[in-house]
Structure 1
Amino acid sequence: MTRTILFNKPFGVLSQFTDAGTAGSNHKTLSEFIDVPNVYAAGRLDKDSEGLLVLTDNGKLQHRIADPKNKMPKTYWVQVEGVATDDALNALQNGVELKDGMTAPAKVSRMEPPAVWERTPPVRFRKTVPDCWLEITITEGRNRQVRRMTAAVGLPTLRLVRYQIGNWTIDGIDNGTWIDAV
């Protein structure tokens, strides 16, 4: 029987069970939060991102979630520096040019600040620069893609929370905790 875990990954945690970094590095890893044998992350979230990470012991499911060819939608709540203009939203929706090519169209909308946990360390704001939240759904999975997309339209990412993968969400999962998927 397949085991699938939904984990609400905190900021600063690597999406792997060991820290294979340079000597002396001391990053938190999944092993500090999840003591379940033979499950592996289906995709990644960089250490500066938070939110939903799906882990499974089923290689086919892992591949279906992680492989961009399958176009599984992933929704992010993104706090950006600046105010998102209609032009910026249209550019994100139509795809933006990155160094590794054009992104696929995304679903993008402004949103009210979500009811999420306090981040440790807190986001550093500039009092003279406004910020806003966007909901962005992509079907690709390039390295740091959402951050690069918002930067390409002049809206640097301050905080990035993955809210949803396919039909799974972080609803009801406290930051730093996990549940078995139903």
Structure 2
Amino acid sequence: MELRSEHRGPRLDVPRESRRPLLRRRRELDKDRFGRFAENFARFMGTARFLLYMTLFVLVWLAWNWLAPGTLPFDAYPFIFLTLILSLQASYAAPLILLAQNRQEDRDRVIAEQDRQANTRAHADMEFLAREMASLRMALGEVATRDYVRSELRSLLGEIGELEERRDRDRESSEARRDDDGGDRR
């Protein structure tokens, strides 16, 4: 008898797919996009062009409110609206600059960690090479040098010369004996 499950519902041993990771990814992308915007804004605020634009804006504001008091002044009260605008700009600029600095610190931290890892690898490589050079020096200590080989060859040549002289002397003495033995027999 075969047992079969006729239940066709979701299986309990397989996790359900979730759509939440897509939403999380979207938030991370938006967060990264906002971070890039903050960095670009902070970079722009640190330029001479921004300072020139801000100076021109304030000068135009001051000139308009001083020179056109009765016609159409922007600021009905003497420069309170300008102070409010500059304060608002500063209140938005400060967090954006801090966000850009935090992102730069994160990048610097990652780069520093990569530098540490590269330095560790380079240090390990240098230690390996130092060990290899030491083993080569030890191996070269056992290898015959040119001067040692020359001295051995000279001593062998000297021994060969002595053996040839001895052989020549033995040959001469054996020939002399033959001559002496041959002359007695005649």
TM-score, with structure 2 as normaliser: 0.19
The structure showing larger relative contact order (alpha-carbon pairs under 8 Å, at least 6 residues apart) is: 1
Which of the two has greater strand per residue?
Answer: 1
When the two structures are superposed, what TM-score results if normalisation uses the length of structure 1?
0.19
The structure richer in helix per residue is 2
